[in-house]
Structure formats: C-alpha cells, structure tokens
Amino acid sequence: MKTQRLEAFSDGVLAIILTIMVLELKIPHGDTWADIQPLVPVLLSYILSFVYIGIYWNNHHHMLHVTKQANGAMLWANLHLLFWLSLVPFTTGWMGENHFAAIPTAAYGIVMLGAALAYWILQRTIIRSQGANSSLAKLIGRDLKGKLSPLLYILAIGCAFIHPALAGFFYVAVAIIWLLPDRRIELHLSEIED
Amino acid sequence: MKTQRLEAFSDGVLAIILTIMVLELKIPHGDTWADIQPLVPVLLSYILSFVYIGIYWNNHHHMLHVTKQANGAMLWANLHLLFWLSLVPFTTGWMGENHFAAIPTAAYGIVMLGAALAYWILQRTIIRSQGANSSLAKLIGRDLKGKLSPLLYILAIGCAFIHPALAGFFYVAVAIIWLLPDRRIELHLSEIED
Amino acid sequence: MKTQRLEAFSDGVLAIILTIMVLELKIPHGDTWADIQPLVPVLLSYILSFVYIGIYWNNHHHMLHVTKQANGAMLWANLHLLFWLSLVPFTTGWMGENHFAAIPTAAYGIVMLGAALAYWILQRTIIRSQGANSSLAKLIGRDLKGKLSPLLYILAIGCAFIHPALAGFFYVAVAIIWLLPDRRIELHLSEIED
Amino acid sequence: MKTQRLEAFSDGVLAIILTIMVLELKIPHGDTWADIQPLVPVLLSYILSFVYIGIYWNNHHHMLHVTKQANGAMLWANLHLLFWLSLVPFTTGWMGENHFAAIPTAAYGIVMLGAALAYWILQRTIIRSQGANSSLAKLIGRDLKGKLSPLLYILAIGCAFIHPALAGFFYVAVAIIWLLPDRRIELHLSEIED
C-alpha cells in the first residue's frame, strides 16, 4: 500500500484542525478595540497551537517522505496521532478563554504530551517495518528533539500549577526547538532525492 | 473514469466528519476539572466514533485499491455511504450529551446500521461491475465481518432500551472485530501489488 | 495550466459544503424521539441539498474530465460557481428550520438558480476556450437537462408563494432528472478513455 | 522536497477558510425578507473576502507553478501566509456584523495588510532560493500590483476612521486590480508550459 493516501488524509485532517481553531475567536458584539481585548489570550493560544500544528505537519511530511510502504499498523498509529491532535482546538480554546488558568494550561500540555507520544509510536512503527537500514532511523538520528519535548511538556504541566507563565515558557521553548532549522535533516533529505 | 477523484473526495468528507465531531466537545466556561467532567461521556462517544470513521476510511481505502474503474452507480453508492457517515457527528453528540440515554444510544446504532448497509451496497455495486473474477470479491472472501456487523448493530439498538451499557458493549465489539488485523487481507493486498 | 489543482480545490470546497450542512442539525437537549421531531424538515432539506451537491460534484467531475487546460477565466467562472454553492448550507438551514415557509423556500430556489447559471457560464467558458470540436460541447450535446433546470427553479420560486409542497415537488423533480443515468454520457466518456 | 504537498495543504486550508466564512451568515429565526435584511452587510463582506481568497488561491497557484523545489524556509513562509488568511473569517464577520463600523473595518485592512506582507515574504523566499534567473522573478516582473496593494490597504485603514465607504472603496479597488487579467502572466505561463 502506498503512503500517498495516508499523507493526503492526514493533510486534510491537519488543515481542518488548523482552520477550525480560529472559530474559537468568537466575533464580539461591540465594535471597539476594547471589545476584542478579551480575545488577546485566545489569539495568543491560537498562534501557539498554529505553530505546533505547523511543526507536526512539517515533521509528518518529512517522516512519510522516507516511508515507501504503509501497513495496517501504520494507518492506526497515524490515526492515533490525529486523534490527539484533534483535541488541540479544544484545549487551545479552553486555555485561551480562561486566560491561561492553571488547569486548562495543564490540560493543554497533557494533550501535547499525548500527541508527542503518539508521534513517537508512529515513528517506531515505521522504523520497525523498514527493518535494519531504515531510512527513517537514519533521518531522525539520535532524535534529541523528540526525546526532549515530552520532558518539557511534563515540566510545563507541573509548572502550570505554580505559574502559567512558566508553563507558557516551556510550551514556547518546545516550539522554538523545532522551528530551528535542522541543517542535518535538510542535507539528508536532499541526498535522498539525488 | 478513474477512482482517484472518488477517493480524494471521500477522503475529504471523512476527514471533515472526523474533525467536526470534536466541535461537540463544547469548551466549558469554568477552569476546573469539575467543569470538564460532564464532557467525559461526550469524549467517550467521540473516541468510539473516531475509531469507527477510522475503520471506514481504512476499509474504503482497501476497497478502492482493488477497483480500477468507477461508474455512475458507484459514485452514487459512495455518496449514499457518505450521507450516512455524515450523520455520525449528530448521533455521536446526541448520545454523548445525554450520557448514553436509551433513545440517543439507539439512534446511534440506526445510523451505524445505515452506514453498514450503504457500505454493503457500494461493495455489491463494485463487484457487479467487475464481473466474474472480481478482485474485490476475492479480497473480501466470505465477508464474515461485514455480515456480523449489521446483526450486532441491531442487537445494540434493541439492548439500548434495556441498558445502554449493553448497547455500548456491542458497539465496542464491532469496533474490535474490525480493528483485529486481517492477515489474509494484508497478504492478499501485497500479492496484488507484487 | 493543468485542471488538476482546479479539480482538487473544487473537491475540497464541495466536500466541506456537504459536511457543514449537517451542522444545521442542531443537537437537541432532550433525549426522546419527540425532541428530534422538529429536526425532520431540517433533515429533509439536508437530504435534498446533499443530493444536489452530489449532482454538482458528479457533473463537475465529468466536465473537467474532458477539459485539458485551464485559464484565468475558467478559474474565476469556477469560483463563481463555488460562491453560489457555498450559500446552499444557509438556504438549506433557513428553509428547514422554518418548515418550508414561503420565503425561505423561494430563497432556496434563488440560490439554486444562481448556481445553475454559474454552472452554465463555466460550461460556456470552457467550450469557448476549446474552440470548434470542443469535447465538452460534444459531451453535453443539446444539454436538455441544463436548459430545463433553471426553468424548473423559476417555477419553484413562484410556486413557493402558492404552496411550499409545490415548490418542493419541482426541486425534487430537478434532482430526479439529473439522477437518471445518462447512458449517452457514460458511453461517450468510455469512448474518450479508450 | 516537491512543492506538491505544500500546494495540496494550502489548497485544503484555503478551501476551508472560504467555506467557514459562510457560517457567519447566521440563519435567522424568522422567515421573512426582513429577517435576512440585517445579513446584507454580512453578505457583502463575505463576497469581498471570497474574492480576496480567490485571488490569493489564484496567485498562489501561479507562484508554486514556477517553483520546483520547496525548502524549510518556504514551508514556514507559507504557513505564515496561511495564518494571516485564517484570520480573514474573523475580521470579515466582525466588519459585516457591525455594518462596516470604523474599527472593525480598519481591523479588516490590518489583516489584509498582514496577508499581503506574508505573501511578499513567501515570494522573496522562493526567489532567493531560485538564485539568479529565478523563474518566479521573471513571472512577477516589476510586481506593480504587489507593491500597490499594501499602500492601498494602509490608505483604507486610515480612511476607515473618516468614512467606512471610503475604506470599502479601496478594498474593492485592490480586488479589481488583481481581477483584471494579466495578459503578460498568462503569456509567460503558456511559454513555460510549452
């Protein structure tokens, strides 16, 4: 089975998740700047989640790029990942509307942690199917970012109960880690394509 | 007519169905765990339907994989299936929000039964068009799962009026039956691809 | 410019239109059959529009199938069609929620008329670009259905003010006309593919 | 990395943005023309944004058409553009529901300005990656439209506080500038394809 339809379906779900999150920016009845001021934390949490979904799309893209064949286990590991990501609009909206209160901010981290573990499971499933000399295993290397992220999420969940800004700091930190261009991967990908 | 656009369109509809279901997880106004406690049955019914839509996507994928040509009858049989599946977010939300009350739980089964029959009709339409030696007919074999599912749905609909947990048991049972990997199909598919 | 991306984009919009219509089936608070009884007209208008969007997708599919190249005029004629179709969820919901009252039922016809004219414009734009021997011109032939539909919509709009059932009759009639398999087109299409 | 998946993902997001905007046309409870009269400004702002999103889709299509390879920087510049466009349903609805009041009308322009700048950044990112002899640089030429639009948006934002009709005039002007067929580009594109 080719990975093409898996990719197209995931793209569809990710595009919808990205776009329905904006529906949490509820249109206010008034027409002054003051009326949209309460939306600022909602917008901030939207931007954070937009970047996260963008990162997932990006990494998912790279991962499937080096995966030629899909099997049943991969389809379900992929749906499992999409399940966690589908909860992101909910936690994003809950956190934003409650102005980063402790419990919604922790819930945000729990869903991100679930997504990170689901991603890791999908990765392992693909690598196992590719056997020794797996091109995905080569691509991710030691996978430092992948190992660091869950730890930072757990830290953020704990910190949410001390001060939400601390949790926010760790959420932003994870995003920045992944946004930093990974010269090694780009090189590796261009090698594969040559 | 190629089946490609049929596949892409179905993927789009299924991806949207999967994702709009999450909109039923209405963001609560409070910021405590108690505030999201009433959402637990909504989340449970969401997970059940997510798995069902995943199974349909999976099976649909396999079915169209062995279908080379699409005709008008197939397009409409496919739209008929999508119609029933498009009602799943409604029954999922209704069942979840009413904490698995008898009638919504039965309504859930009625829509799943409609989808199962629509799937069967689509299957028959494809097999008929392929004539003797249909590769889809070979793929599904005796189609035990396909024959068992409607029976289990009917049982679940009846049981919903006795005790919702009984209905829930049958809904979960159908999902598990389909989730069990079907070694025969995977083998068959890899033969086709070789 | 290839028509592929035009097709993919239209599929996306049509799939979303089809699916968001179901959001008008608002989940009731009660858990009895009586609670969903007021939804019956909403469901009926949903089914009608589902079939219409299915017909448009089908015909659009056939039309682009015989169109090799897209130009700027086609892109905009296509967006114009999608604009009218994007209003279908609104008129569908308005008609259904008001139990086929005169004005919403007429408004439904006005949007369908707009879509029919937009489809005709798109058709003319493609035929003009293909010049003499246009394969689309051959495909549609005398285009009886295309000429009859706007007339029936106009009739339905007028009849909505006499009795909604009369308007409903004409709406269903248009759908049936298009659902009847068009042996000539299927033959023609299989010739093209040979 | 091919630009195909980038294109498919952007198409998905644009199709969803286009379609969820129509959800702001809230179905009224009454069934008379008077009941939908308050929706007229919402419809007008919907039409304006529909045309804008159509223009973006069109230009994005042309831009990626002459881009063979995508890199990480492009993926993020593209997501940045999609972010601004994802805010269009919000500002469209806010402007429409407040009947083109000053601040929502200015906010509409701010988001359009953000999208225009994001588009320009994406364009520069692609041109830089293509080096000298960039086919995109040739395609856009002096990019008069691209340079004029931000200026007109800024004018419109300022004018919103004088009279909304003036701002509306500039918004419509930008749309018309882009709708005018660009014979040079169509010629250039057909050359490339030959």
Determine, for residues C86 and D19 on separate chains, whether the beta-carbon distance falls below 8 Å: yes
Residue B61 binned pLDDT confidence (cut-offs 50, 70, 90)? confident
C-alpha gyration radius of chain C: 18
Task: Please determine, for residue B194, whether its predicted confidence score (pLDDT) is greater than 50.
Answer: no
pLDDT value for C79: 95
Q: Fill in the amino acid letter for B107.
A: A
What is the mean predicted confidence (pLDDT) over D5-19?
Answer: 90
pLDDT (tens digit, 9 = 90+) per residue, D97-149? 999 999 999 999 999 999 999 999 999 999 998 887 888 888 888 888 888 99
8 A C-beta contact, residue A17 and residue A91: no
Residue that wins the pLDDT comparison between B70 and C90:
C90
Give the C-alpha separation, C36 to B59, whole Å. Answer: 31
The residue behind tokens 């682009």 is C64
Residue D183 binned pLDDT confidence (cut-offs 50, 70, 90)? low
Q: Measured between beta carbons, which residues in chain B are less than 8 angstroms from residue A17?
A: 19
Of the candidates A89, B11, C93, the residue with the CA atom closest to the CA atom of residue D29? C93
- Number of DSSP helices (H) and strands (E) in chain B, helices first: 10, 0
Task: Please calculate the CA angle A76-A78-A81 and round it to the nearest 5 degrees.
Answer: 115
8 A C-beta contact, residue D27 and residue C94: yes
Q: Fill in the amino acid letter for A172.
A: V
Give the C-alpha separation, C28 to B103, whole Å. Answer: 12
Give the C-alpha separation, B192 to C51, whole Å. Answer: 35
| C-alpha torsion angle, residues A55, B12, A125, B56 (rounded to 10) | 150
8 A C-beta contact, residue C145 and residue C186: no
Residue A194: strand, helix, or coil? coil
DSSP for B75-142, written as a single string: HHHHHHHHHHHHTHHHHHHHHHHTTS-HHHHHHHHHHHHHHHHHHHHHHHHHHHHH-TT-HHHHHHTT
Give the C-alpha separation, C81 to C66, whole Å. Answer: 18
Percent residues over pLDDT 90 in chain A: 58
Task: Please determine, for residue D186, whether its predicted confidence score (pLDDT) is greater than 80.
Answer: no
Task: Please determine, for residue B41, whether its predicted confidence score (pLDDT) is greater than 60.
Answer: yes
Task: Please calculate the CA angle C74-C75-C78 and round it to the nearest 5 degrees.
Answer: 80
Determine, for residues C27 and B1 on separate chains, whether the beta-carbon distance falls below 8 Å: no
8 A C-beta contact, residue B95 and residue C24: no
pLDDT value for C71: 85
Residue D45 binned pLDDT confidence (cut-offs 50, 70, 90)? very high
Residue A194 binned pLDDT confidence (cut-offs 50, 70, 90)? very low
Q: What is chain A's mean pLDDT, rounded?
A: 88
Q: Measured between beta carbons, which residues in chain D are less than 8 angstroms from residue A28?
A: 94
The residue behind tokens 């793929």 is B139
8 A C-beta contact, residue B139 and residue B185: yes
Q: Measured between beta carbons, which residues in chain D are less than 8 angstroms from residue C101?
A: 31
Residue stretches of chain C with pLDDT short of 70: 1, 181-194
Determine, for residues A75 and B65 on separate chains, whether the beta-carbon distance falls below 8 Å: no
pLDDT value for A146: 87
- H helix runs in chain D, sequence order: 4-20, 33-36, 40-65, 72-86, 88-97, 102-130, 135-140, 144-159, 164-179, 183-193
pLDDT (tens digit, 9 = 90+) per residue, B138-165? 888 888 888 899 999 999 999 999 999 9
CB-CB: which of B22, B23, B186 is closest to A72?
A: B186
- B62-66, B184-188, C117-121, D2-6, range with the lowest pLDDT: B184-188
Helix or strand (DSSP H, E) at C42: helix C40-65
HSE on the CB side for D142, CA within 13 Å? 2
Tell whether D39 lies on the interface with A, counting CB pairs under 8 A.
Answer: no
Please state the domain extents for chain A: 4-193
CB-CB: which of D1, D101, D102 is closest to A189?
A: D1
Give the C-alpha separation, B89 to D15, whole Å. Answer: 21
pLDDT value for C194: 46
HSE on the CB side for A81, CA within 13 Å? 28
Task: Please determine, for residue D188, whether its predicted confidence score (pLDDT) is greater than 70.
Answer: no
